[in-house]
Amino acid sequence: MTVIETTEADFQRDVIDASHQHPVVVDFWAPWCGPCRQLTPLLEKLADATDGSVVLAKVNTDEHPAVSQSYGVQGIPAVKAFVDGKIVDEFVGAQPPAQVQRFFAKLLPSEADRLAAGGDEVSLRAAIEAEPGHPVASLALARLLLARGEDAAALEVLGKVRGSFQADGLAARIRIGADPELDLGAALDALDDSRQEEALALLIDRVQRFPAQRDELRAIVVGVLDELGVEHPVARDARRRLAAALY
């Protein structure tokens, strides 16, 4: 289903949770709103054209004012795009069709995104060739290379990524992971075994004890926290302990 009507009770499930699986465009509208009657059919048409890649969730602001207020809606139609639980783009008022089409187009996966989703080395390298520094493909390829012991090649791939805490963290791990003074073996083993809470405790302990390597250790911790997500209880607790260790 590409077009749904959501409510205050279902907004978390229909929009926030669902946006971790695919982009969700929210149309804040009301029956009395003339521009809404012009814009909504276009939004529905564009959502249908994505074949489920983007879902349109409609919110009647008269019936569900609390949702509108919580997202700062002051005029309608108001359109907000959610990805991974966050607003990534928005506009207010009826817009020209070409502009609304561009709004949707930015939410659709690129060719590099589609290649990266393949997950195999050939697909990942093709994704990076199509979009150098593609964060998802670069991170996945670097992990494959690291597992084969090709540390230098993994660092080279990660060096082209910008704005990714996870990529920065993995690069820091490669640079200092074998330092005998830091003794990170147990922490990294726990991390590889998905025992993040144990790994974070050990890493944050090293942040306190080894100020000379603090930046690299912090990058590893922040990368793990970013992967866990803001709302993860382990991440919330570890973030507080990291702040205490740093300051």
Identified catalytic residue from 15, 25, 26, 36? 36
Q: Which two tokens stand for residue 171?
A: 């690069």
What residues are paired with 93 via a beta bridge? none
Identified catalytic residue from 33, 57, 116, 144? 33
Tell me whether residue 118 is one of the annotated catalytic residues: no
SS (H, E, C) the chain: CCEEECCCCCHHHHHHHHHHCCCEEEEEECCCCHHHHHHHHHHHHHHHHCCCCCEEEEEECCCCHHHHHHCCCCCCCEEEEEECCEEEEEEECCCCHHHHHHHHHCCCCCHHHHHHCCCCHHHHHHHHHHCCCCHHHHHHHHHHHHHCCCHHHHHHHHCCCCCCHHHHHHHHHHHHCCCCCCCCHHHHHHHHCCCHHHHHHHHHHHHHHCHHHHHHHHHHHHHHHHHHCCCCHHHHHHHHHHHHHHC
Tell me whether residue 36 is one of the annotated catalytic residues: yes
Report, as residue numbers or ranges, the catalytic residues. Answer: 33, 36
